[in-house]
Structure 1
């Protein structure tokens, strides 16, 4: 998710312990990196936190946030998402993309026919799936075979949806 040049990099899952620590879920590819992006802000930008990771915990990290000193203050932050300025995130290799960069891109087939726009990206463990919304909703595996071209500069993705040209049921009579 992106919001005015910022990217959501984590969320507070609740209090951890009695001294103001929080349970922190990191959405970064290297989970520990969340603490290195400088102060992170809440989605509305009204609060800013410097993060210090204290220990690994199930599903994330125990962490201390500046200005959070009690269990009650930590518990009040449950569900708050943490946002980093886009420019502090590392650049990626040519074949990797931040999800936020893909959302909203136009998707065309290999013949240039518009298929729609990327509305969301899902990862259910077997790889990313692009949700493309146009005349119909398409769920496309985000693989090189199905998505051979991503051109961020042009704001366009070229896709070769599986099954369009080789559906064995097509043309068969009943």
Structure 2
């Protein structure tokens, strides 16, 4: 399991005094400020976050060490990572996306379907992107109990019940 988990990103500068616009990936957007310090993906920079106000497309925030608009603009696109131990433990039927990526996916008969390449959330529920050797295209599978009845993080595997695939030419 990852030491750090991506919980947000800097979407750009906001105002002229070094404020940034944050996109929060936490279930409650304001929680992003409570898991600090937050780190850049490479771990070379850390920031304490103080939320200032809601803004279009995210949250306004002040980051430690960011004092000018130019400093804020230079951080556009930087992802923010929290130490895993600072994040809440999840119930048995909930998972951090990062823990699902890379898990092997098998059907109910034990046949390997592939590995989870990504997890998407477009607002209607999570979707697993599964890719495997011999597949012509990725399989997008709703991450629901009906399609994914078993997730075993300790064993590094998922049991899935995907719909029948149609052959296309």
Structure 1-normalised TM-score? 0.89
Q: Output aligned runs, 1:65-80, within 5 Å.
A: 65-80=63-78
Residue of structure 1 in register with 2:21 after alignment: 23
Measured in 2, the distance between the counterparts of 1:125 and 1:28 equals: 13
1:51 maps to 2:49 = yes
SS of the residue corresponding to residue 34 of structure 1 reads: helix
1:87 maps to 2:72 = no
Two-structure CA RMSD over aligned residues (Å): 1.6
Residue of structure 1 in register with 2:147 after alignment: 146
Measured in 1, the distance between the counterparts of 2:54 and 2:95 equals: 27
Measured in 2, the distance between the counterparts of 1:131 and 1:67 equals: 37
SS of the residue corresponding to residue 66 of structure 2 reads: coil
String of CA shifts for 1:47-70, please: whole Å, max 9, x gaps: 110000000111111000111111
Matched residue count? 164
Structure 2-normalised TM-score? 0.92
Measured in 2, the distance between the counterparts of 1:124 and 1:12 equals: 19
TM-superposed deviation, 1:124: 2.3
Residue of structure 2 in register with 1:161 after alignment: 162
User: Which structure's CA Rg is the greater one?
Assistant: 1
Runs (5+) with no aligned partner, structure 1: 170-174
